[in-house]
Structure formats: structure tokens, C-alpha cells
Amino acid sequence: MPDRPKRMMVFSGTSNPELAEDVARNLGVELGNIKIRQFANGEIYVRFLESVRGAHVFLVQSFTHPVNDTLMELLIMVDAAKRASAETITAVIPHFGYARQDKKSAAREPITAKLVADLLTTAGVDRVITMDLHQGQIQGFFDQPVNHLTALPILADYFESLKLENCCVVSPDVGRAKACLKFAEMLGCSLAIMHKGRPEHNVAEITHVIGEVEGRVCIIADDMIDTAGSVTEGAKALTKAGATGVYVTATHGIFSPPAYERIESSPVVEVVVTNTVPVPVERRHGKIHVLSVAPLIAAAVDNVFNDESVSELFDPDFQL
């Protein structure tokens, strides 16, 4: 019997269909037909409406609000694909939820990033494609291959287009300093670091700014913006320290209340995020600017499907 050609199938969960459609468009394929419904009690029902037998299945699903529902939905999609005899199942998770709890910072705490990795493994995932994890070591929580993409080149291209002069990249805390140094090198500018304390969840206090920010245009670069407390307090601290303008950028714009109100009332000039998490159309104006990561994700999916290198996507000379 002759070998059948490899078959790629891309399906979208309900968390970010706009991004999934854009990824499929960049791949030159149609999104697969899938039925996702909820029973009256909130249980999730999934059924693939076309055969996935022998196919290499890519499931696009960010963990967005409500996070528990979107996580469970992905697990059920994976289970359905496995039971329908898919050849391989790749979870494409642009925003990996529960990643902030990646270690025990105090006694009797969970490590939820590891728990989610175990859940995906048990469900039957063969590979994960994700972007800008809260900490890179989360890749080690999986026994399967993890392709960890970064939006830094996309964000750097945008800020280069603004032609900002005398700029400085600012890390919101010490833990983000390494990624911010890489971002600063891409932009050819200096680095500063803020020291941040957290008296409680989603509450931030900026106590020190390390580095020269006076007279500079500052770009606070983080992996995510949730309630925007950290970045808006950081913008105030930088303005007080003499910054001539403050921009904020992050891969994941979660924007939980009261994020939008905080941003609008802050001294921030512009907040630049990607579409790993959907931003409502009515909010994509004023200070909020959204960039698409669909071409990068599509390139990663295509390379995985064709057994080619994904690392070339991080080459500065690589053109999407």
C-alpha cells in the first residue's frame, strides 16, 4: 500500500478564534470543523465534525478568561483528537495560563504551571507551541517537546519604526532583566531595572529604579499586563525620576479590570501588546496598540509539520 501524504489540520478553541483564523490564513489552510458547546451545568462538549484519523492536528487555544473553562476545553479537545486516532496532537497555546505559579514562593503553595503541564500530558498532547512563558524553565515541566516562541523581535520592529531617540528599556523587576537586556540590545539602547514589591496579589509597589532614566524615553517591557498595576505605578515612578516619556510593552495583554482605566489615567504614552490574548475591538484605540503574532505562530506550525527547524525563527535575519 503506498504511503499516504502527511495531512495538517488546524482547529480553534473558543478563546481566540480571530488569532486562529489568522494563523490558518498564513498557513494557507482552512480551519477545521469542530463543534464546541456547553451543557446547562457548564460541562463542555467537543466533537470534531470531520475525520482526523492519521492527521497531524494543531489545536489553537489561549488560556484566557474564563481561564479554567479554556483550559478544560483544550484538554477535552485533545482527548477527542486522541480518541479519533489523530497521528500527532500539538497544543498551540499562545498564552499559557497558570504560569505565574511556577515555583513555591511560600510554604503550602501549589506549582500550577507543572500541574497544567501534567494535565496536558495525561490528556495526550505530543508537542506544545507557546509564546513568552512567564519563566523559561516551565518548558522543563513537560516530557514532550516544547517550542517556546518569543514576540520580542515583533515588538522591537514596532518600536524601531517609532524612531524614538535616547530611549531606555526598563525591566519591571529583577526577574525580567535578562529578557529586557535582550530587548534593549535589539533596540540598541540602555537598560534600567525597577525594584518591585508585592504586598498582595495584583498589587505592586515600586521602591527603587536602578539605572539612568532621567531625560530618556523609557520602554517598560514585561511578559504580561494583567490589572496594569505594576506598569502604571512603574510609569509614575519613571516620570518622577525624570523620564521624558514612558511606553509600555508586553506579549500578553490580559487587561483584567481595572486595567483600561488605570492605563488611561496614567502618564503612559502607549501600551503595545500582541494578540495572544484577544483585546476587544472597542479597546484597540487610544493608548492601546495590538500587533499580530499570527505569522510567527504559523511559521512555527509549518516548520513543525515539515520536520524543519523552529530555531531559525529566532534568527534576526529571518523574515516572516
For cell 535578562, the residue is 178
Residue 65 burial (C-beta neighbours within 10 Å; 0-12, 13-18, 19+): middle
- Which of 280, 265, 319, 49 has its CA nearest to residue 157? 319
Q: Which of 6, 82, 182, 196 is catalytic?
A: 196
For residue 301, what is its C-alpha cell?
506550525
User: Cα separation of 226 and 3, whole Å?
Assistant: 49
CA of residue 40 relative to chain centroid, distance: 31
Q: Would you call 114 a catalytic residue per the annotation?
A: no
Q: Which strands sit side by side in the sheet containing 146-149, from one edge to the other?
A: 8-12, 56-60, 88-93, 127-131, 146-149
Closest by CA position to 158, among listed 213, 221, 95: 221
212: number of Cβ within 10 Å: 13
Do 111 and 134 form a contact (C-beta atoms < 8 A)?
no
Rounded CA separation 160/83 (Å): 47
Active site residues: 196
